[in-house]
Structure 1
Amino acid sequence: MKIHLFTLAILCFSLSQGLNQNPKCETQDHGSTLRVFHIYSPCSPFRPSKPLSWEESVLQMQAKDQARLLYFSNLVAKNSVVPIASGRQTIQSPTYIVKANIGTPPQTLLMAMDTSNDASWIPCTGCLGCSSSVFNTNKSTTFKPLGCQAPQCKLVPNPTCGGASCSFNMTYGGSTIAANLSQDTITLATDPVPGYTFGCIQKATGSSVPPQGLMGLARGPLSLLSQTQHLYQSTFSYCLPSFRSLSFSGSLRLGPIGQPKTIKFTPLLKNPRRSSLYYVNLVAIRVGRKIVDIPPAALAFNPNTGAGTIIDSGTVFTRLVAPAYTAVRDEFRRRIRDANRIRIRNANVTSLGGFDTCYSFPIVAPTMTFMFAGMNVTLPPDNLLIHSTAGSITCLAMAAAPDNVNSVLNVFANMQQQNHRILFDVPNSRLGVARELCT
C-alpha cells in the first residue's frame, strides 16, 4: 500500500514558524508554572529542519518508543535490586521540553522533561560531541564543580576521581555521556534554586542525548523533586498539549499550590527493581462498554519481577504486554467492524510499522477506559487514534510491548495523557488524573 508524503500528520501546524515569529513563544513563565512544549512545536529549535512525512514521523517515534521499552524490560529483569539513584541509564530523547535558567547571570536552556529519570544533566563548555547550545560555566559566578568528597558523588553511576571533580559515565539510548558532577543556581519560572546538583556533560557520543539536557522528575535523591523538597513538597503536575494543538504549549506546575481541587486519585506503588518509576495499579481496560477479558497476570503488580504498569512522560504510544494488548486490540477491531457496519471481507485492517490496527477508510471509534485502582480514565478518539493529514489512514495509537521474555511492563504513555492534568503527589503516594484542555 502506497503511503503519500504528507506533512507531519499528528502535528497540524506549520513547522516553518520560527521562535521569533511567534509571540506566544516569547511569553514568560510565571509563579511556579513552566510552559511545556513538544519538540516539534513552532517554539522548539529542535523541530525537523524539513517537515517529515506522516509515515516517517510515526515510524521515527515508534523506533524511539521501542528502544525505551527494551530498556525498561532489561532493567526489571535484573536479579539485584536497583539503587534509588537509578538514573544511571535512560533511553531516547523525551518528547516534551521546558525552559530553565541556569547560572548567574542566567543562561536559558530547553531541557527535556523525563519522569523516569532521576538526575538532571546539561552540556557544558568544551563538551565534545554536543549538538546544541552549551552552558558556559566560565560566565556563571555561582557555578561550582563537586569533588569526590561530596556526598552527592556516591549517588551517581560509576563515579571516578581521576581529577579534582567527581566524574561519571552513563548511557542514554545509543549514546554515552561523560559528565562532571556540578552545582549552580537553577531558576524555574520565577523560583531560584541555589546549589542545584546536576551532571555537566563533557563528552557525548551518538544522537540520543537531548540537545540542551534533561530534567529528571523521578523519585531518587538527585531528582528535581528531592532537591526542591523544601520548595515544592515533592509535588508536581503537568498537562501535555495535543499533537494537534496550534499553540502547542502545556504546563508543568511545581508544588502543591494551584493544583486541581477536583481530581481522582490512584495509589502510587513502589517497585524495588525500579524504585524511581511511577507504578500504578491498572486493574482492567474497557473498550466501549465491555470490560476486556485480560489474563490477570498481564496487569498484576509484582515487585519480584518488576511487572506492572507505569506512567511515563517519555514514551509516546501506550504499550501493553502481549496478552493484554491482543485482547484490547481484538475488541477494538470488533467494535470498529460493528460500528461501521462493514462486512468482514471488506474491513481490511492494515499495518504501519509497529501499529497493526490501521484503516484506510473513515471509522467510528469507541472510547477506551483504563480502570486504575480508585479511578477510571476514559480516553476519547483524539487520545486513541492517529490520522494522516489527508485522513486516508487511521491507526490505533497503541502497540504490544517488545517481544521478549522480560517484557513485563505496561506503559501508559504521553499521547494517551494529552489534555489531562497528571498530578504526582509523592508525599501521599498517589497519582491524580483530571481532564483539562492543555492549551
Structure 2
Amino acid sequence: MATSSSILCCYTLFIIFFFFLLILHMLLIEKNSLVSVRWLTGEYHLNPLGSSVSATVPIEEGVFFGTHKFIVTIYLGSPPSPYSLVFDTGSDVTWMQCIPCEKCYPQKDPIYNPFESSTYASIRCHSDYCSQLNTYDCSWTDNCLYEVQYRDGSYTKGYLVQDTLQFSYDIIKNFRYGCGQNNSFSVPKVDGILGFGRGPLSIISQTAQSYDLVFSYCLPSKPGIIGYLSLGSDVGIDAIHVQYTPMITNEMMPSFYFVKLISITVGGDLSAHSPTVFKSPRTMLASGKKAMLDSGTVISRLPPITYYGIRNTFRKYMANYPRAPSWGILDTCYNFTNYQDVNVKVPRITFEFDGGVIIKLDISGILLGTTKSKQCLAFAANKYASDKVIIGNVQLRTFNIVHDIKNLRIGFGADGCS
C-alpha cells in the first residue's frame, strides 16, 4: 500500500515538473525568438491603450546605408524574415526586392524569396486591390503588375502580392505590397520602402480597423540615437503634449499630407514679429501654396523668394563664422572646425502653422552635415514658385509628430525624442 502511494506521488511530481518545463519553454520561445507564441497560434498581439491599440518599432537615420533618410525594420513572411525599409509618408505602396530579380540593386539583407513563405499569395489582375494602384497592368498569368516612379528617378516594378507582415509584435495578415523585380533606388543597400501615405494600399489604410487611422513618429536628431514609429495612438501623450493643425487634402495629390504654413521666423521672437520671412499669412497662400510633410525627403524645399529671404537673414546672423563650399543643393555652409559645439551660436528658426501651432526647430533641424568642417543650412529653393513646398525630415527631427487621418489633423509635440 505504501509502495503504491509512493509511485503515485512520484508520478504526480513528474507530471507537474513536465508541465513546468513546457511552460518555461514556451516563455523562452516568446522572449527570444523572432516568432512569438501569438504568431504560432495565429492570434493578434495587440496592446490596449484605453479604447485604442498601438504598436511601436525603433527608427533611426540610415547612415549605415549611406543616406539621411530614416530606416525601420519589419518582418515579412512565414516564417518571418527581417527587412530594412525607408519610412516614407510621401508614398503609398510598400515594396521590397523579390526573387526572381530581373534587375535588382545590391542590398544588405538577403533578397526576399516569396516562395519560401507559407502565407504568400499572388493577387489577380482584376481584383479590387489591383485597381487601387495608380499604374498597373496584367501578366500573362493574369496576376497584378505594379509600377511606381519617384521624383528622384528611383522606380520599382513587379507583382502586387500579399503576405503576413509583423510590425513590432503585431501581426498584419494578407498585407498587400509590391514584390519588386525591376528596381532602381537612390538609397543603396536598403531593401525597399514602407509607404505611409493616405492611399488605399498604404500600411496605415490597410490597418485602419486596428489602429483607427492614426500613426506617430519621432525622428532622432543624429545617427546612433533611436526614435520611434507607432501605429495607433497613445491618447495620454497626444492629449497633453501635442498641438494640432488641420490636415489639408490636395485634390491633385490626395495621398499626401499637407498643412498650411503661415510664417517662418529666423532669429528674434515670433511674438514680436521680428523678423518674419513671410510678411503676412497671405504671402505663401496667394498662389494656393500649402506645405507637404514628407519623411522620405531629406531637405525642405521652399519657393525661391522664401528661401532666399531665410538664407540671407541666416547669413547675417552667421557672419562671424568661416564659410565652407556648397554641398550639393545646400549653398550656405560653414566650417566649425575651430569651435567647440557650445560656442557655435545658430539663430533659432520657428515655423508657424494654421491654428496657432508654433514649433521651434532643434539645431538638428537647422544644420545638416557630416563633419564639423561642413555644416549647411538645411533648406533649398525650388526651381519655380509654383513647385510643391515640402517640409523634409531634417526639419521634423525630435518632434513627436501625430498623423490623425480620421480627424484630419497633424500634431506637433516638442521633445518627442533626443
Other-structure match for 1:74: none
Pick closer, same or farther for the CA change 1:278–1:397 going to 2, 3 Å. Answer: same
2:87 alignment partner AA: M
- SS at 2:309 equivalent: helix
The Cα shift of 1:228 comes to 0.2
Other-structure match for 2:285: 300
The Cα shift of 1:280 comes to 0.3
Other-structure match for 1:358: 333
Other-structure match for 2:156: 177
Q: What does the per-residue CA deviation read over 1:213-241, in whole Å, with 9 as the maximum and x for residues that have no partner?
A: 21110001111111000011110001111
* Cα distance in 2, alignment partners of residues 301 and 197 from structure 1: 40
Q: How does the TM-score come out when normalised to structure 1? A: 0.73
Which deviates more from structure 2 when the two are superposed, residues 372-381 or residues 422-431?
372-381
1:292 alignment partner AA: T
Other-structure match for 2:113: 136
Other-structure match for 2:214: 235
Are residue 112 (structure 1) and residue 86 (structure 2) matched? Answer: yes
Other-structure match for 2:229: 252
Other-structure match for 1:167: 145
2:111 alignment partner AA: V
Q: What aligned pairs does 1:317-332 form with structure 2 within 5 A after superposition?
A: 317-332=299-314
Pick closer, same or farther for the CA change 1:166–1:412 going to 2, 3 Å. Answer: same
* Cα distance in 1, alignment partners of residues 69 and 275 from structure 2: 31
Other-structure match for 1:287: 266
Q: Highest Rg: 1 or 2?
A: 2
Are residue 225 (structure 1) and residue 204 (structure 2) matched? Answer: yes
Q: What does the per-residue CA deviation read over 1:126-154, in whole Å, with 9 as the maximum and x for residues that have no partner?
A: 12222232222122111110112311111
Other-structure match for 1:153: 130
2:346 alignment partner AA: A
Q: What aligned pairs does 1:183-222 form with structure 2 within 5 A after superposition?
A: 183-205=162-184, 211-222=190-201
Pick closer, same or farther for the CA change 1:236–1:288 going to 2, 3 Å. Answer: same
Pick closer, same or farther for the CA change 1:292–1:257 going to 2, 3 Å. Answer: closer
Q: Of 364, 388, 397, which residue of structure 2 is paired with 1:382?
A: 364
1:113 alignment partner AA: F
Percent same amino acid among aligned pairs?
30
Q: How does the TM-score come out when normalised to structure 2? A: 0.76
The Cα shift of 1:192 comes to 0.5
Contact 1:174 1:208 in 2 (8 A): no
The Cα shift of 1:207 comes to 5.2
Pick closer, same or farther for the CA change 1:183–1:124 going to 2, 3 Å. Answer: same
2:230 alignment partner AA: R
2:257 alignment partner AA: Y
* Cα distance in 1, alignment partners of residues 259 and 118 from structure 2: 43
Contact 1:236 1:423 in 2 (8 A): yes
Other-structure match for 1:425: 404
Q: Which has the higher contact order (CA 8 A, sep 6+)?
A: 1
Aligned residues: 349
1:140 alignment partner AA: S
The Cα shift of 1:333 comes to 2.0
* Cα distance in 1, alignment partners of residues 318 and 262 from structure 2: 24
Contact 1:281 1:372 in 2 (8 A): yes
Other-structure match for 1:15: none
The Cα shift of 1:435 comes to 1.6
Which deviates more from structure 2 when the two are superposed, residues 309-318 or residues 153-162?
153-162
Structure 2, unmatched stretches of 5+, are 1-33, 37-44, 48-54, 269-273
Q: What does the per-residue CA deviation read over 1:168-214, in whole Å, with 9 as the maximum and x for residues that have no partner?
A: 23324434432111111111001111111111112224656873121
Contact 1:299 1:309 in 2 (8 A): no
Contact 1:292 1:331 in 2 (8 A): no
1:364 alignment partner AA: K
Q: What does the per-residue CA deviation read over 1:77-127, in whole Å, with 9 as the maximum and x for residues that have no partner?
A: xxxxxxxxxxxxxxxxx8111111111111221121100101111222212
Pick closer, same or farther for the CA change 1:119–1:153 going to 2, 3 Å. Answer: same
1:353 alignment partner AA: G
Contact 1:360 1:392 in 2 (8 A): yes
4+ long deviations beyond 6 Å: none
Contact 1:301 1:308 in 2 (8 A): no
* Cα distance in 1, alignment partners of residues 72 and 293 from structure 2: 19
Structure 1, unmatched stretches of 5+, are 1-25, 42-46, 49-60, 62-93
Other-structure match for 1:123: 97
Are residue 336 (structure 1) and residue 318 (structure 2) matched? Answer: yes
Contact 1:282 1:370 in 2 (8 A): yes
Are residue 39 (structure 1) and residue 62 (structure 2) matched? Answer: yes
Q: Of 378, 381, 387, which residue of structure 2 is paired with 1:400?
A: 381
Q: What does the per-residue CA deviation read over 1:223-270, in whole Å, with 9 as the maximum and x for residues that have no partner?
A: 111100001111000111112x43x32110110135533211111000
The Cα shift of 1:284 comes to 0.7
The Cα shift of 1:300 comes to 1.4
Q: Of 68, 72, 75, which residue of structure 2 is paired with 1:98?
A: 72
2:122 alignment partner AA: P
- SS at 1:105 equivalent: coil
Contact 2:215 2:404 in 1 (8 A): yes
